[in-house]
Amino acid sequence: MGIGKPVKQVLILIAGGVLLLVGIALLVLPGPGLLLVLAGLLVLASEFPVVEKYVDPIRDRAMKAAEDSVSSPLRIAGSVLAGLGLLAAGVVWGLVPGLPLGGWSTGSSLILSGLILFALLIWSYKRVQARRAAKTE
**pLDDT surpasses 60 at 22:** yes
pLDDT recorded at residue 27:
77
pLDDT one-digit tens code per residue, 38-90: 888 999 998 888 888 999 998 888 888 777 777 788 888 888 888 899 899 99
pTM, whole model, 2 decimals?
Answer: 0.64
Listed by start position, the domains of the chain span 1-82, 103-136
Number of other residues whose CB lies within 10 A of the CB of residue 107? 21
In this prediction, residue 92 has a pLDDT band, given cuts at 50, 70 and 90, of very high
| Beta carbons within 8 Å of 92's beta carbon, 6+ residues apart | 99, 107
